Amino acid sequence: MILLGLTGSIGMGKTTVATMFRRMGVPVFDADATVRSLQGPGGALLPAIEAAFPGTTGPDGVDRAALGARVFGDRAALRRLEAIVHPAVDRARRGFVRRHRARPLLVDDVPLLFETGGDRRVDAVLVVSAPAWRQRRRVLARPGMSALRLRQVLARQIPDPIKRRRADFVVDSGADLATTRAAVRRLVACLTAHGVRYCRTCAKSSSIPKPPA
Ligand SMILES: CC(C)(COP(=O)(O)OP(=O)(O)OC[C@H]1O[C@@H](n2cnc3c(N)ncnc32)[C@H](O)[C@@H]1O)[C@@H](O)C(=O)NCCC(=O)NCCS
Ligand SMILES: Nc1ncnc2c1ncn2[C@@H]1O[C@H](COP(=O)(O)OP(=O)(O)OP(=O)(O)O)[C@@H](O)[C@H]1O
């Protein structure tokens, strides 16, 4: 079984590509959704988070703005939060892998895969990437998003060119959805038929798209 890490910077199309994998029958573990459910109403992590960061949880779960204000900009506090959140996400992921262990390919969708060292636990990494101007246009079209907030998020993420360099595979999401879907389909077919090592060679010879870093 191959565990493929799926990542990409904000607005690059990672969620869209994760949906494409699901529709092709590939099980996808959604790390972000897992965090949200563990931190949501009645979530298993609420007592530990309240103990470490008093006043940041309530009947609706974690107050993300309040918790963000406590941890972003304070490295030690963020590490304390991660020490609560990440082991629980790892447990949920191990359960997901166990449930689907008979499948040839699983996807681990983690927005901060490289930032949190998750690339070490997967067999290969797929980065979804588009030109920066297109990313910016997509993100700024979202309600409540501003140029300042985009700058702040980008400052906390490893830059896209470095992600692409570190990736085994890159899917270009800069063109239309059909082109991206075709690239995902080629990757699924190659990985399930031949495995990671062979597909890395395919990617280099460009039958699976890997734009230059
Ligand atoms: C502090 C929280 C509640 C703030 O939530 P909020 O919805 O306001 O922001 P969101 O999660 O969308 O993060 C905004 C941006 O901050 C950055 N960021 C979030 N968590 C981290 C982190 N652990 N390390 C570095 N950057 C981070 C990302 O670039 C992200 O795009 C939330 O980010 C959180 O619980 N983070 C810690 C858990 C974690 O590491 N999650 C991600 C990986 S599993
Ligand atoms: N070829 C393409 N591939 C992927 N997404 C595309 C493409 N063309 C247009 N889009 C659009 O770009 C947007 C990408 O948003 P998406 O939520 O998938 O990104 P994301 O990387 O998950 O973002 P975030 O990290 O902020 O959650 C969607 O609205 C999607 O429809």
DSSP symbols for 62-101: E-HHHHHHHHTT-HHHHHHHHHHHHHHHHHHHHHHHHHTT
Specify the pLDDT at position 203.
Answer: 76
DSSP-derived pairing of the beta strands 57-58 and 61-62: antiparallel
What does the pLDDT average to over 80-104?
97
Q: How far apart are CA 125 and CA 42, in angstroms?
A: 33
pLDDT in tens, 27-71: 999 999 999 999 999 999 999 999 999 999 999 999 999 999 999
| Domains defined along the chain, listed by start | 1-27+102-213 (3.40.50.300), 34-99 (no CATH)
Distance between Cα 138 and ligand 2 center (Å): 7
- Residue 208: pLDDT band (50, 70, 90) is low
Q: How many other CB atoms sit within 10 Å of the CB of residue 194?
A: 12
**15 marked among binding-site residues:** yes
ipTM of the complex: 0.91
CA distance 194 to 1: 12
pTM flag (> 0.80): yes
Name the residue with tokens 């931190």.
39
Radius of gyration of the chain (CA): 18
* Atom 28, ligand 2: residue with shortest CA distance: 13
Band (213; pLDDT cuts 50, 70, 90) = very low
- pLDDT at residue 82, as a whole number: 96
Query: How much is the pLDDT for 211?
Result: 44
Q: How many A from CA of 135 to the centre of ligand 2?
A: 8
**Phi, psi values for residue 210, rounded to 5°:** -135, 90
pLDDT, tens only, 129-164: 999 999 999 999 999 999 999 999 999 899 999 999
* Separation of CA 19 and ligand 2 centre (Å): 10
Helix (H/G/I), strand (E/B), else coil: 129: strand
142 CA: nearest ligand 2 atom: 29
Instruction: Tell me the two tokens of residue 57.
Output: 């949880």
Torsional sign, CA 154, 155, 157, 163? positive
> φ, ψ for residue 181 (rounded to 5)?
-60, -40
